[in-house]
Amino acid sequence: MIQNYKEWILKTIEDTWNLFRKKFTALWDKHKDGSGEAYLPAIYNNPELQLLVQKKYFEDLLHDTVGFGSAKMIRRIVGVAHVEDLESIADPSKRATCEKRALYLAKMLLKERRKFHDISEIVSAVRNVQ
């Protein structure tokens, strides 16, 4: 049951990111008429360049998102605001093991976030954490 729940969460994370990216990119493509100020059509008027810019934008956004999420994971374990998921584990030894694994994952993602290029690589890394 726990494995099914973990897979559901990981699939939801991946699906949410991919849907966000798809919708955001569709809106970006739809409104590339120059009404925005960041990516002016006079500069980014080449379709290949547009794809490269979008790829770079989303890769940077992914790195920032993973960094923020990792820092939040660490804060919720060692900071004042704890998470009920971990606090509700009655067995101190089991809770410590879970917290240790979560901290390891958060530290790894925070330090190595720039090596990931899309959400599927991050989900795969999470699956492989022992």
pTM score of the predicted model: 0.85
Q: Which CATH architecture has domain 1-128?
A: Alpha-Beta Complex (3.90)
**What pLDDT shows up at residue 71?**
95
Instruction: Give the number of other Cβ atoms within 10 Å of residue 20's Cβ.
Output: 14
Q: In the structure, what pLDDT confidence band is assigned to residue 1 with cuts at 50, 70 and 90?
A: confident
**What pLDDT shows up at residue 31?**
79
Q: What is the DSSP letter of 42?
A: T
Reply yes or no on whether the pLDDT at 111 is more than 80.
yes
**What pLDDT shows up at residue 129?**
83
Domain boundaries, the chain: 1-128
The answer to whether 77 and 107 have CB atoms below 8 angstroms apart is no
Give whole-number Cα distances, 71 to 26, 64, 66, 103, in Å: 30, 11, 9, 10
Which residues, including other chains, have CB under 8 Å from residue 117's CB and lie 6 or more apart?
A: 59, 62
Residues 29-86: pLDDT tens digits?
887 776 666 777 777 778 888 889 899 999 999 999 999 999 999 999 998 878 788 8
**What pLDDT shows up at residue 34?**
62
**What pLDDT shows up at residue 107?**
96
Mean of pLDDT values over 103-129: 95
* Phi and psi, residue 71, nearest 5°: -65, -40
